[in-house]
Amino acid sequence: MTTDDVLNGRAKWCVEHSRCEAFSSALPDGCVNLLWLDPPYFRVVDEEWDRAWKTEADFLAWLRSVVREAARVLAPNGSLYLFASPQMGGRVECIARESLDVLNHLVWAKRQGWHAKAEEEALRGYFPQTERVIFAEPHGADTVALGESGYAAKCDAARAEAFAPLRAYLADEIVPTQVRPSGHRLGAPPQPLDADPVRLEIFNGLFMSIAEEMGVALQNTASSVNIKERLDFSCALFDADGGLVANAPHMPVHLGSMSE
């Protein structure tokens, strides 16, 4: 299995062992959903791969080229996690901001490590006990990605599927004419139609789920503490005449009171 097999749908995964520069340059634009980059930290360990650059400037220039290439291959709604040492965390974040929108600068606190063996009293500075993780996304991911990823279209399709039984039911119930039973007085209110109890239960669940989703949307978008934290609200659906159709159980004391 190769990377080409994964990109063309012939395989779900593969393992590639190569330099990141050559590997990423062979990828097409916007094909990666998640990038987890853990590059060298520059002279943190006594290994050749961490000391391949003479100066910090050389290291940061190399890292800048890697991040730019990462921004190119990221999908519109993709995510990047970029690791860095505590000494380099600020500069690495600035490099990431040149090509991406940084969402968070995470501090990974490590309870175990070489710092546990250090004589803290003999140190001039604090021994580093953390690593930094930069979480970033492509520019405009909060708006552009919704359309390019097909998320909005999938929501529309799911919404249409959820309401398909309701539309079919209403289509069956709407008839061009009604035959009045014998003895029916002209002008009297129409007699209720016989309803299928199974369908009634289905639509009861549909309407109740709509009212519950209204509450979730209200809580997530509200700025009021009473609504967002105390959850002091209720949501319900009404018909064209103001009759109560479904009342979500957000605030129990409100149940039934909305029909008055």
pLDDT (tens digit, 9 = 90+) per residue, 57-78? Answer: 999 999 999 999 999 999 888 8
What pLDDT does residue 57 have? Answer: 95
How many residues comprise the chain? 260
- Highest mean pLDDT: which of 133-137, 156-160, 209-213, 228-232? 133-137
In this structure, of 187-191, 201-205, 220-224, 228-232, the range with the lowest mean pLDDT score is 187-191
**78/97 Cα distance (integer angstroms):** 15
11 touches 1 (CB < 8 A): yes
pLDDT of residue 83: 96
- Residues of the chain with pLDDT > 70, as a percent, come to 73
Instruction: Indicate if the alpha-carbon torsion angle 51, 57, 58, 61 is positive or negative.
Output: positive
**Predicted confidence (pLDDT) at residue 35 exceeds the cutoff of 70:** yes
Alpha-carbon span 78 to 33, nearest angstrom: 4
Alpha carbon distance 73, 85 (integer Å):
24
Task: Please state the rounded mean pLDDT for residues 231-248.
Answer: 84
Which pair of tokens denotes residue 227?
């609504």
> Per-residue pLDDT for 231 more than 80?
yes
The answer to whether 35 touches 81, Cβ cutoff 8 Å, is: yes
Q: Name the least confident of 25-29, 103-107, 208-212.
A: 208-212
Q: What is the mean pLDDT of the chain?
A: 81
Torsion over CA: 165, 170, 173, 176 (sign)? negative
**What does the alpha-carbon distance between residue 101 and residue 121 come to, in Å, rounded to a whole number?**
40
Q: What is the pLDDT of residue 192?
A: 53
Distances (CA, A) of 49 to 98, 133, 203: 25, 20, 63
Percent pLDDT > 90 in the chain is 30
Q: What is the pLDDT of residue 177?
A: 44
Q: What is the mean pLDDT of residues 163-174?
A: 63
Q: What is the mean pLDDT of residues 11-26?
A: 89
Quote the pTM value.
0.55
* pLDDT per position as a tens digit, 107-145: 998 777 666 666 777 777 777 788 999 999 998 776 554
Considering 64-68, 189-193, 235-239, the range whose residues carry the highest mean pLDDT is: 64-68
Beta strands at 101-109 and 74-84: parallel, antiparallel or unpaired: unpaired
Q: Would you state the pLDDT for residue 189?
A: 55
pLDDT value of residue 175 = 46
Helix (H) or strand (E) holding 207: helix 197-221
Q: Angle at the Cα of 152 (from 147 to 154), degrees rounded to 5?
A: 120
Residue 173 has pLDDT above 60, yes or no: no
Residues 6+ apart with CB under 8 A from 236: 211, 244, 245, 246, 247, 248, 258
Task: Annotate 75-126 with DSSP letters as a single string.
Answer: EEEEEEEEEE-TTTHHHHHHHHHHHSEEEEEEEEE-SSSGGGGS-GGG-SSP
62-71, 116-125, 206-215, 248-257: which is most confident: 62-71
Cβ within 8 Å of residue 100, ≥6 positions away: 67, 70, 71, 74, 80, 136, 137, 138, 139
The better pLDDT of the pair 199, 167 is held by 199
Nearest Cα to Cα of residue 200 among 174, 167, 166, 230? 166
User: What 3-state DSSP class applies to 19?
Assistant: coil
